[in-house]
């Protein structure tokens, strides 16, 4: 059915209300993306802190491995991993989190390289503070601003990657109302019922744009 007063965004091929499914699908999107971002932030922050602080062979070895991962498109690696692990919400979260780790690690490492030469770090070292204490209690607390911006940007990317995997039937499976999956299921009906795919597509795009605008505003505020 086409959009009407009863069904604001119409119904799909099974008679399900598109508007209701679009609202329900937001739960999946807003669950996978933050969890995947948190996973990437946790792993990337650990690697970025350690490589930037210790440097030397550890820095070179880890960064070369991470750089080799960045050579390949994110979606291609995600497809390969999920083909091996199998499609599920947990596997999607872990896959996206691992793929975001190199980006976060590079951001954190760059900030640490600047901060580790500050006087407060030297003072903490002269007081006999351990390396772990200096990294977590001294350096990390002073680089939370760039990490917060990076986290906001990664949430937007995670939404797109998760939706893309669902679109390719490698992420969340039916009968989930996930936006990416809904777009894929509505493809055969684009000519006769474009609203089935158009509604979740607009919702997906508008959410990512909103998050990116928030990230830009946050960056400007931090820079000031």
Give me 48's structure tokens: 């970025």
- Residue 76 is predicted with a pLDDT of 84
- Long-range interactions of 130-136: CB distance < 8 A, separation 24+: 131/53, 131/54, 134/53, 135/49, 135/50, 135/53, 136/49
Question: Is 2 inside any structural domain?
Answer: no
Q: Which of 6, 26, 17 is nearest to 195 (CA)?
A: 17
Percent of all residues in the chain with a pLDDT value above 70, rounded to a whole number: 100
pLDDT of residue 95: 92
Number of domains in the chain: 1
Mean pLDDT of 189-204: 90
CB 142 within 8 A of CB 135: no
Residue 9 lies in a domain: no
Mean pLDDT of 34-55: 93
The answer as to whether 60 is a domain residue is: yes
CATH number assigned to the domain comprising residue 51: 1.10.3720.10
pLDDT reported for residue 86: 82
* pTM metric for this prediction: 0.86
Structure tokens given for 41: 């932030």
User: In the prediction, which pLDDT does 38 show?
Assistant: 95
Cα separation, 179 vs 45, whole angstroms? 30
- Give the domain extent around 130: 18-223
pLDDT at residue 105, as a whole number: 94
């Amino acid at each position: 059915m086409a959009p009407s007063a009863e069904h604001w965004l119409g119904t799909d091929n099974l008679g399900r209300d598109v508007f209701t499914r679009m609202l329900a699908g937001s739960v999946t999107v807003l669950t996978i993306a933050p969890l995947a971002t948190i996973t990437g932030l946790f792993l990337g922050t650990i690697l970025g802190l350690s490589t930037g602080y210790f440097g030397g062979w550890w820095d070179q070895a880890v960064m070369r491995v991470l750089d080799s991962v960045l050579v390949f498109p994110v979606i291609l690696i995600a497809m390969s991993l999920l083909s091996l692990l199998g499609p599920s919400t947990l596997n999607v979260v872990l896959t996206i989190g691992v793929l975001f780790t190199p980006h976060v690690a590079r951001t954190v490492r760059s900030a640490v390289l600047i901060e580790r030469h500050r006087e407060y770090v030297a003072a903490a070292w002269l007081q006999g503070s351990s390396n772990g204490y200096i990294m977590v209690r001294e350096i990390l607390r002073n680089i939370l601003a760039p990490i917060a911006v990076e986290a906001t940007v990664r949430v937007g990317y995670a939404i797109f990657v998760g939706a893309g995997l669902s679109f390719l039937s490698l992420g969340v499976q039916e009968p989930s109302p996930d936006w990416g999956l809904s777009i894929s299921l509505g493809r055969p009906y684009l000519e006769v019922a474009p609203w089935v795919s158009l509604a979740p597509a607009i919702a997906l795009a508008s959410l990512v744009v909103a998050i990116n605008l928030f990230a830009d505003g946050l960056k400007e505020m931090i820079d000031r």
